[in-house]
Amino acid sequence: MHPQQEPVFLPLTVGAAQTATGAARRDSGEIGRCADAANSAAAGCWAALLGGCDSVERRALPGTLHALSTATSGYVGPGAWALSAHRRRVAEAQLRIDDAVRDGDGAEFAEAFVGYDQAIATAVVSVHSNVESPRP
């Protein structure tokens, strides 16, 4: 696969990380790096699922998703993350992805990634909103 033809699995997350401003922009860099790694692993995993074979990316995907979730947790703040609904949504979506990979279910994989991307992006955007409009 050529990079310009590679499917994109985390468009909302990448966009949310790129739209951060000021200090939030600097802190969101790790999310962007982890999202790029997870997206590449997801593209390789997707190709392996479609081909019905194993791949390095298929085995690496859980670790890259964990790294992205950890980066998001650090960005949101460990205390806020522990209490947030975002954490639960991310964990549930990640479990669905893991199940789809294990089962070789491409349709479930794609659907689960939509939920994962939305959950991570929503968590990142919630930090942007809190930074840009502090409460009195």
Residue 22 has pLDDT above 90, yes or no: no
DSSP state of 129: H
113 neighbors 42 (Cβ within 8 angstroms): yes
Answer yes or no: is pLDDT of 4 > 70: no
Q: Rounded to whole angstroms, how far apart are CA atoms 51 and 23?
A: 43
* pLDDT digits 0-9 by tens, 74-121: 998 988 898 889 999 999 999 999 999 999 999 999 999 999 999 999
Q: Per this entry, what is the length of the chain? A: 136
Q: How sure is the predictor about 136, in pLDDT bands with cuts at 50, 70 and 90?
A: very low
CB 31 within 8 Å of CB 39: no
Task: Report, as an integer, the average pLDDT of 18-45.
Answer: 85
Query: Does residue 42 register a pLDDT over 70?
Result: yes
Residue 132: pLDDT over 70:
no
Structural domain boundaries in the chain: 10-130
Report whether pLDDT(135) > 80: no
Residue 125 to residues 28, 32, 81, Cα–Cα distance (Å): 11, 13, 13
